[in-house]
């Protein structure tokens, strides 16, 4: 058992916890607390740190760029951002990329561009959005309005108007809800916070068809599942979803804040000067690092390696389930995986399991109400996956059979 280095009551707002593990440094997939205790990181700063910690290469790129040019605003262009934008645009049927600083901001931009498209192409009535149960699109007021889960929304109601929900993976409800007055559907091709739930292929096909018929944009929120986490550049490839607009963020700059909203020509053609903007998005330091991250994460071999390790992680979770006789199922894709506990009495103990894992030197996450979520750095080795899963098994066993 680890005696962790804990900080109590830091001057943070009360929406955060009152007690934190005080982390100090990292190396590879390991994090160290302020007392030097080591933790296997299966959380990666909530699916962010794709290349792990202690990276001399990232530190070198960032520090050289800081010395050269640190910030210019979007009144001017900078080389790393233009270079990155060109690569990103070439990754699909895109014409432009709007840079921001967070997943929420990427989705805000997507929602704004979609309204511009709907209203300027089809008329003012075409301003409605559809999103799905179990979704999480962020905590700013627009992204929040698109987030179905009541507990995130309720304290801030009334929400912005024009947002509607239907059940994820329910084709009938989709067909009943979507009309010509919708400008966009915003959807996670694999729901992260909601429970590592993948989109059904049939649902993706139905969504593609209705949206093409009614000229409704599909916004794929790839903030958590995109950029190699699921073994594909875009997780929409898993179900065959045809996204018009794609949002990315978490791993994009290796742990620095950066987001991207990729838009097609048919949208960009309707956007006017001054319609949207931001001070920090696409700064030279974050985009310099992101060029390196993009090149690394989108390489074929890297993606294949993530897929292979993701299969191992899923097999290990199946092993835990079988060995402990759990009523559960393995969810997710690639290196965004979860163990969904089916018995309420057990899922109520996920918080305890997370604490137990931490005391054994391992950091894990939860998703939805019943999922133990794992999102390690993508550079994790097969050996590290097996070692981690042995610890997770012990932690689950200790809590559920205590």
Residue ranges that bind ligand PLP, judged by CB under 6 A: 46, 102-104, 107, 136-138, 188, 192-193, 221, 223-224, 249
Q: Rounded to an integer, what distance in angstroms lies between the CA atom of residue 220 and that of residue 236? A: 7
Q: What are phi and psi of 340, to 5 degrees?
A: -90, 115
Q: Rounded to an integer, what distance in angstroms lies between the CA atom of residue 202 and that of residue 217? A: 18
Taking alpha carbons only, the member of 40, 35, 45, 13 closest to residue 387 is 40
Nearer to ligand PLP, 2 or 46 (CB): 46
Smallest distance, ligand PLP to C-beta of residue 36, A? 30
Q: What is the DSSP letter of 6?
A: E
Smallest distance, ligand PLP to C-beta of residue 257, A? 8
Is 346 buried (19+), middle (13-18) or exposed (0-12) by CB count in 10 A? Answer: middle
| Contact in structure between 243 and 269 (CB atoms under 8 Å) | no
Is 325 buried (19+), middle (13-18) or exposed (0-12) by CB count in 10 A? Answer: exposed
Q: Rounded to an integer, what distance in angstroms lies between the CA atom of residue 288 and that of residue 84? A: 8
Distance separating the N- and C-terminal Cα atoms of the chain: 16
| Contact in structure between 96 and 109 (CB atoms under 8 Å) | no
Helices 382-400 and 350-359 pack at an angle, to 10 degrees, of: 120
Smallest distance, ligand PLP to C-beta of residue 148, A? 12
| Contact in structure between 66 and 80 (CB atoms under 8 Å) | no
Strands 245-248 and 217-221: parallel
Nearer to ligand PLP, 326 or 363 (CB): 363
Nearer to ligand PLP, 103 or 338 (CB): 103
Smallest distance, ligand PLP to C-beta of residue 138, A? 4
Nearer to ligand PLP, 289 or 399 (CB): 289
Nearer to ligand PLP, 193 or 384 (CB): 193
Nearer to ligand PLP, 65 or 259 (CB): 259
**H helices present in 90-140, as ranges:** 103-122
- Give the residue at shortest CB distance from ligand PLP: 103
Smallest distance, ligand PLP to C-beta of residue 111, A? 12
| Contact in structure between 53 and 25 (CB atoms under 8 Å) | yes
Q: Rounded to an integer, what distance in angstroms lies between the CA atom of residue 365 and that of residue 394? A: 16
Smallest distance, ligand PLP to C-beta of residue 188, A? 5
Which residues have a Cβ under 8 Å from the Cβ of 143 and sit 6 or more positions away? 103, 104, 107, 108, 111, 137
Nearer to ligand PLP, 221 or 316 (CB): 221
Nearer to ligand PLP, 257 or 310 (CB): 257
| Consecutive H or E run containing 131 | strand 128-132
| Contact in structure between 346 and 391 (CB atoms under 8 Å) | no
- Both tokens of 279, joined, read 């001070």
Nearer to ligand PLP, 55 or 137 (CB): 137
Nearer to ligand PLP, 65 or 261 (CB): 261
Smallest distance, ligand PLP to C-beta of residue 191, A? 7
């Amino acid at each position: 058992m680890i005696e962790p280095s804990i900080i109590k009551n830091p001057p943070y707002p009360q929406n955060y916890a009152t007690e934190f593990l005080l982390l100090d440094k990292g190396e590879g997939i390991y994090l160290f607390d302020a007392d030097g205790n080591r933790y296997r990181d299966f959380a990666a700063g909530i699916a962010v740190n794709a290349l792990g910690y202690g990276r001399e290469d990232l530190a070198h790129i960032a520090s050289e760029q800081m010395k050269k040019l640190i910030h210019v605003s979007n009144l001017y262009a900078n080389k790393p951002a233009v270079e990155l934008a060109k690569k990103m645009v070439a990754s699909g049927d895109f014409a432009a990329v709007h840079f921001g600083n967070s997943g929420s901001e990427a989705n805000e931009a997507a929602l704004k561009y979609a309204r511009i498209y709907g209203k300027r192409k089809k008329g003012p009535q075409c301003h409605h959005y559809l999103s799905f149960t179990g979704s999480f699109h962020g905590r700013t007021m627009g992204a929040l309005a698109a987030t179905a889960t009541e507990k995130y929304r309720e304290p801030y109601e009334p929400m912005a108007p024009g947002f509607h929900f239907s059940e994820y993976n329910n084709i009938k409800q989709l067909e009943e809800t979507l009309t010509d007055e919708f400008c966009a559907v915003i959807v996670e091709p694999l729901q992260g916070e909601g429970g590592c739930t993948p989109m059904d292929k049939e649902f993706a096909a139905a969504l593609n068809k209705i949206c093409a018929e009614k000229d409704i944009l599909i916004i794929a929120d790839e903030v958590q599942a995109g950029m190699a986490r699921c073994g594909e550049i875009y997780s929409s490839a898993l179900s065959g979803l045809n996204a018009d607009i794609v949002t990315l963020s978490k791993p994009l700059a290796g742990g620095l804040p950066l987001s991207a909203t990729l838009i097609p020509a048919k949208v960009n053609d309707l956007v006017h000067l001054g319609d949207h903007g931001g001070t920090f998005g696409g700064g030279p330091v974050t985009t310099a690092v992101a060029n390196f991250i993009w090149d690394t994460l989108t390489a074929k071999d890297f993606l294949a390696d993530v897929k292979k390790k993701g299969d191992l992680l899923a097999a290990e979770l199946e092993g835990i389930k079988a060995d402990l006789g759990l009523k559960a199922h393995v969810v997710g894709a690639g290196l965004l995986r979860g163990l969904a506990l089916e018995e309420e009495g057990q899922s109520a103990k996920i918080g305890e399991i997370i604490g137990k894992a931490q005391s054994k030197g391992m950091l894990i996450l939860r998703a939805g109400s019943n999922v133990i979520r794992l999102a390690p750095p993508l550079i994790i080795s097969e050996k590290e996956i097996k070692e981690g899963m042995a610890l997770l098994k012990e932690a689950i066993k200790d809590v559920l059979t205590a």
